[in-house]
Amino acid sequence: MSPTTLRIATRQSALALWQAEHVASLLRAAHPDLRVELVPMTTRGDEILDKPLAAIGGKGLFLKELEVAMLDGRADLAVHSLKDMPAELEAGFALPAILPRADPADAFVSNTSADLAALPQGARVGTSSLRRQAQLRAARPDLQLLDLRGNVGTRLAKLDNGDYDAIVLACAGLERLGLHQRIRSRLVAPAWLPAPGQAAIVVEARVQRAAVHERLAVLDDAETRLAVSAERAMNHALGGSCTVPVGAWCTVAEHGLHLRGMVGEAATGRLLLAEATGTHDQPEALGLQVAEMLFAQGARALLEG
């Protein structure tokens, strides 16, 4: 029997709520008979704001409570930013819908400088992402890199407060929150790589709930699924977690896929880069191939810190 109500588990940050509401309205439009409700909740990851994510257990912290709600029957699905998902899904869960990707670029945000090159010598840049730190260090070894965690709004407030000369955020998140005007310049591939899965919103549900999957199928974007499958396969092969600086960017053309991958070292700004092309039917094989190329360049030493 097809469900008549779908309850969406979501975190309560402004970005998470926007994304859950976005999925809800797409579902209501696709299925006029369906009731769709949000079930907002707080996760461990939202509560611990004073420590780097890597030190407190990583990305799974933002998912656990939402997955428990699905297991308990308090929610039917959960909406996430794909880049916040661990490389490996929890057993019994699937991603029945991957939405069309937004702008995957990172954003340079500053009240004083127009872009990275314009920052004064020794300027203070805030980001807790090791991937962003490594690429900042590579481009501008002189910069002072400072930790910065919290929701998008919190990070912007700390910038405006004068704690930093610039910060780096995802363009997609700023656009969703109506903060497009905060983007001073875009940090774009191939010179700057986003996180695997950046700018893709995904819907998670229990594997066994086939009727829920049927309702969600209409939201799935085949091209985005191909691109992020390659990026996530690469990240997974590299042992990907948020404790390692990994960037990935896959483009999809009629004749095939093109994947670029990066493993970096935040402390030195050393970057290993690799790229390869593959076919539409084997995005994971392409991800593995680029991971192998990075290992051949010595990625293991960087990944093991």
Ligand X SMILES: NCc1[nH]cc(CCC(=O)O)c1CC(=O)O
Task: Point out the residues that are catalytic.
Answer: 84
Nearer to ligand X, 175 or 284 (CB): 175
Tokens of 52: 């780097």
In angstroms, rounded to a whole number, what is the distance separating the alpha carbons of residues 115 and 105?
A: 14
* Binding status of residue 236 toward ligand X by CB under 6 A: no
* Binding status of residue 173 toward ligand X by CB under 6 A: yes
Beta-carbon-side half-sphere exposure of residue 175 (alpha carbons within 13 Å): 13
Nearer to ligand X, 228 or 257 (CB): 228
Count of positions on this chain that bind ligand X (CB under 6 A): 10
> Position 16: which residue type?
A
* Binding status of residue 266 toward ligand X by CB under 6 A: no
Q: How far is the CB of 296 from ligand X (least distance, A)?
A: 29
**Which of 34-42, 164-172, 243-251, 266-274 is the region at the interface with ligand X (rule: CB under 6 A)?**
164-172
**Which of 169-177, 209-217, 264-272, 281-289 is the region at the interface with ligand X (rule: CB under 6 A)?**
169-177
Tokens of 232: 């996530």
Nearer to ligand X, 76 or 106 (CB): 106
* All residues at 6 or more sequence positions from 35 whose CB lies less than 8 Å from its CB, including other chains: 4, 5, 6
Tokens of 229: 């499958």
Q: Interaction with ligand X in 57-96: which residues (CB under 6 A)?
A: 81, 83-84
Work out the angle at residue 236's Cα, subtended by the Cα atoms of residues 21 and 23, and round it to the nearest 5 degrees.
10
In angstroms, rounded to a whole number, what is the distance separating the alpha carbons of residues 159 and 152?
A: 11
Nearer to ligand X, 177 or 276 (CB): 177
Contact pick of 43, 110, 198, 235 for ligand X (by CB under 6 A): 198
In angstroms, rounded to a whole number, what is the distance separating the alpha carbons of residues 123 and 140?
A: 10
* Binding status of residue 133 toward ligand X by CB under 6 A: no
For residue 32, whether the previous peptide bond is cis, meaning omega lies within 30 degrees of 0, is no
Tokens of 249: 């960017």
Contact pick of 152, 216, 238, 286 for ligand X (by CB under 6 A): 152
Nearer to ligand X, 97 or 172 (CB): 172
* Binding status of residue 130 toward ligand X by CB under 6 A: no
Work out the angle at residue 57's Cα, subtended by the Cα atoms of residues 248 and 67, and round it to the nearest 5 degrees.
85
Residues binding ligand X (CB under 6 A): 81, 83-84, 152, 169-170, 172-173, 198-199
